[in-house]
Amino acid sequence: MRPPLNGSSVSVGIKNMEEKKKTIGVRGLLAAVVLCLCSVAVSTEETKQKQLRFMENGEFKILQNVSCSDLNTTAFLHRMILAEKPDLIVFTGDNIYASDATDAARSLDAAFSPAISASIPWAAVLGNHDQESALSREGVMKHIVTLKHTLSQLNPAGIDLIDGYGNYNLEVHGVEGSGFENKSVLNLYFLDSGDYSKVPSISGYDWNKPSQQLWFQRTSLELQRAYMSKPEAQEAPAPGLVYFYIPLPEFTSVVDSSNYTGVKQETICSASVNSGFFTTLVEAGDVKAVFNGHDHVNDFCGEYTGIQLCYAGGFGYHAYGKAGWARRARVVVATLEKTDEVSWGPLKSIKTWKRLDDQNLSTIDVQVLWSNNTPGGT
């Protein structure tokens, strides 16, 4: 999320679009109940990764949430969980508005409580405000990885020198009992896009560093080799999805081409320098879509050079929005190819839509992000 204009030394030419928080009503009370449903701290033994895999219907559903949590936000997330029944929830940054948090750990517990109480696996990355309370960015991520049902990781195992906190990947295996039950048919990459530039001569937001890009390249290559080797050797890599907070500069190219679904209602607040990470993603050959947060009243998703660049849309209420423009959440569903009446094969397609926080949780902007039936796979 962008910092308030009177609270940051970084000038990024952004309009102040703060709106008053909604009065907490019945939904807020329901959310308060949700917060009390569980204890969130668990031992290291309990946080071992549960193997993600596709369901027996051949689908895997991801709900993306950019939080800045308060009771209204928590209530919306609870409604979305009941409506969509996701297999994974991804929190893509600004999980709390830390400058307003008197107890950062308790605020983090509350932000993730709907996923925890529903016993749904979840993963998180950091935004640019998570560290503005008593906990550092490292401290925030260290707390997150102790919580129930999280698949989040502090950083890749065995790698000491990598920028940021919360760089990791998750594998989603095929349906149990199928030929792909021990293969990752969908790969998820998570990265810390930082907060603000640490280079005095460069103002504005942070960016994905060379150490992170190198880790991504090596991880992608290892996953591709495994997928394209026996048993069930495949000719092309398994599709990958990438999640981090601050959008890439290439989001501007999507807007310039007008090749997108959704709306752009504010400046794209990426870093003022281009780190080359988008080129790294294209060269890897497996990434089909990138999902970001940060700009709360942009919710578009569009293709550029073979990769879909997507905003989550404004989810949280404890942050700026736009009057008359409903808060919303992005859903992604990956579907496997059916090989016969009883078995599932590799990935067939990836679709997305958004749900509005209105009376009916209205579905809008249904979009195919990738299909293996399309030439080039996009």
Share in percent of the chain as helix, strand, coil (round to 5): 25, 25, 50
In angstroms, the CA 285 to CA 151 distance is 25
Q: In the prediction, which pLDDT does 132 show? A: 66
Q: In the prediction, which pLDDT does 104 show? A: 83
Q: What's the domain range around 123?
A: 59-371
What is the full per-residue pLDDT of the chain (378 aa) written as tens digits?
Answer: 444 333 333 233 333 333 333 333 433 333 333 333 333 443 333 434 578 999 999 999 999 986 656 788 888 899 999 999 999 999 988 877 655 667 888 888 988 999 999 999 999 999 887 666 778 999 999 999 999 999 999 999 988 899 999 999 999 999 999 999 999 999 999 999 988 889 999 999 999 999 999 999 999 999 999 999 999 999 999 999 999 999 999 999 998 888 899 998 888 878 889 999 999 999 999 999 999 987 778 999 999 999 999 998 776 666 656 778 888 899 999 999 998 877 899 999 999 999 999 999 999 999 999 999 875 555
**For the CA atoms of the chain, what is the radius of gyration?**
20
- Structurally, how many domains does the chain consist of? 1
Q: In the prediction, which pLDDT does 6 show? A: 34
Q: What is the pTM of this model?
A: 0.85
Residue 28 covered by a domain = no
| Residue 189 one-letter amino acid | Y
Within a 13 Å sphere around the CA of 208, how many CA atoms are in the beta-carbon half?
Answer: 29
Stated length of the chain = 378
Q: In the prediction, which pLDDT does 12 show? A: 30
Beta bridge partners of 242: 189, 290
3-state secondary structure 219-276: HHHHHHHHHCCCCCCCCCCCCEEEECCCCCCCHHHHHHHCCEECCCCCCCCCCCCCCC
Which H or E run includes 212? Answer: helix 210-227
In angstroms, the CA 11 to CA 270 distance is 13
DSSP for 59-110 reads EEEEEEE-----HHHHHHHHHHHHHH--SEEEEES--S-GGG-SSHHHHHHH
CB-neighbour burial class of residue 378 (10 A; exposed 0-12, middle 13-18, buried 19+): middle
Helices (H) and strands (E) in the chain, counts: 7, 14
Q: In the prediction, which pLDDT does 239 show? A: 98
SS3 state of residue 32? helix
Residue 265 covered by a domain = yes
In contact, 63 and 81? CB cutoff 8 Å: yes
Nearest to 105 by CA among 150, 145, 67: 145
Residue 339 covered by a domain = yes
The token duo for 257 is 């081409």
Residue 51 covered by a domain = no
Residue 5 covered by a domain = no
**For the domain that residue 274 is a member of, what is the CATH number?**
3.60.21.10
In angstroms, the CA 265 to CA 263 distance is 6
Residue 165 covered by a domain = yes
Residues 6+ apart with CB under 8 A from 108: 95, 96, 140, 143, 144, 147
Residue 25 covered by a domain = no
Residue 216 covered by a domain = yes
| Residue 205 one-letter amino acid | Y
Residue 144 C-alpha from the chain's centroid:
15
Q: In the prediction, which pLDDT does 43 show? A: 34
Q: In the prediction, which pLDDT does 10 show? A: 29
- Is the N-terminal amide bond of 237 cis, ω within 30° of 0? no
Q: In the prediction, which pLDDT does 101 show? A: 63
